[in-house]
Amino acid sequence: MNFCTKNIVIGVTGSIAAYKTPELVRLLKAKGVNVKVVMTQDAKQFITELTLQAVSGSPVHSQLLDPTTEASMSHITLAKWADLIVIAPATANVIAKLNVGIADDLLSTLYLASAAPTALVPAMNQQMWRHIATQQNVQQLAQRGVVFWGPDEGLQACGDDGPGRMIEPSQIMEKITSHFAPKLLQGKKIVITAGPTRERLDPVRYISNFSSGKMGYALAQSARDLGAQVVLISGPTQLKPPGNVKTIAVESASEMHRAVFEHLPDCDVFIGCAAVADFRAKEIATQKIKKGMLTDLKLEKNIDILQEIGKRQDKPFLVGFAAESENLIENAKAKLLQKNLDMVVANDISEDDSGFNSDFNCVSVITATKQMDFELMPKRDLSEALMQLIYQQLQK
């Protein structure tokens, strides 16, 4: 996504969580976003203007009445310049001020003077967040169109444990990406499988593979950002489920099969990104199998989920992944035909810097009429490119 034309004001208020804001600004600048930072006076007790100026590449604004800028009415100029205002961290105090319309500093005045969408990223003590006054302020601001990103739960600087932690800069970046993404897939239902499956042998052993689920989760995020209704059916991973995505955790291929067909009705696009085990134990031992008996294991084939969907007369647009260690293109083309796919994404798992467990991938996308090759890139970027391709195919 091209952010180079986007203007974002980052507001910083007086919270210990302000130490996270420079990383958010750095992430935005890395994407080419035009960023200007506005600080409250209390924010300066936790982080310096110089730090934020260094990472943003622009002067930091903090004075409402600054003789050097007041001739140009800087708060009005900033208000008109912004495409989005993000206040991170947003304290209970600033949330209350914005709700009642107090404008006694640059940030609160800027908020009232701007027609730009505003997102607040709360950070405060858990009891302050739970207090009825804060909750009423949040509710009233939300009714006026202000969005809230977070808070998260966990151990806080004061020692309490509960809701009120500011979400991480990477999560805020995902929210901003989603905000600006064109809603090309609005009204579409997309079901995605991700991760490995585990096929139990006995109470302590199972058959599985090295899939991390990163590609499938990235696809779910990109589909969500484009406005789709997303169902993510995931085998066991260490990944945090994406926000605003219905995520269903499964373990075995049989469980994944049931979940897929439960959510297949009204599905417009199905993406089989999971590395589903080809075989399972014919019988699962109730006691741990002794080493000497492991050679006597009897296996049977799992149901091929993609192939089953491909046989349906009402099949959705069907996308499969071909993870191969040799004859990449030939094997991928064969899979496209055998499983009646509309698109197959082929990746070479023999490469150390891509594929399983990596944050990067290098793939070839094959349809019935053409092949498109993608160089090594982050899976998040690749997922955006793949969803754009799927959108284009749906228009035909």
Q: Which residues have a catalytic role annotated? A: 158
**Beta carbons of 260 and 234 less than 8 angstroms apart:** no
Side-chain-facing half-sphere of 210: CA atoms under 13 Å: 9
Phi first, then psi: give them for residue 152, nearest 5 degrees: -90, 170
**Beta carbons of 29 and 35 less than 8 angstroms apart:** yes
User: b/e string for 152-182 if b means 16 or more Cβ within 10 A?
Assistant: eeeebeeeeeebbbbbebebbbbbbbbbbbe
Helix (H) or strand (E) holding 346, with range, is strand 343-348
- Give whole-number Cα distances, 311 to 45, 258, 307, 394, in Å: 64, 16, 6, 19
- Bridge-based pairing of strands 229-234 and 246-249 is parallel
**Beta carbons of 46 and 19 less than 8 angstroms apart:** yes
Which residues have CB under 8 Å from 85's CB, separation 6+?
8, 9, 11, 110, 111, 114, 116, 117, 118, 119
Q: Which of 242, 189, 254 is nearest to 213 (CA)?
A: 242
Which residues have CB under 8 Å from 89's CB, separation 6+?
12, 13, 15, 17, 18, 20, 21, 121, 122, 123, 166
Location of structure tokens 């090295």: 210
Location of structure tokens 């040799």: 326
**Beta carbons of 204 and 288 less than 8 angstroms apart:** yes
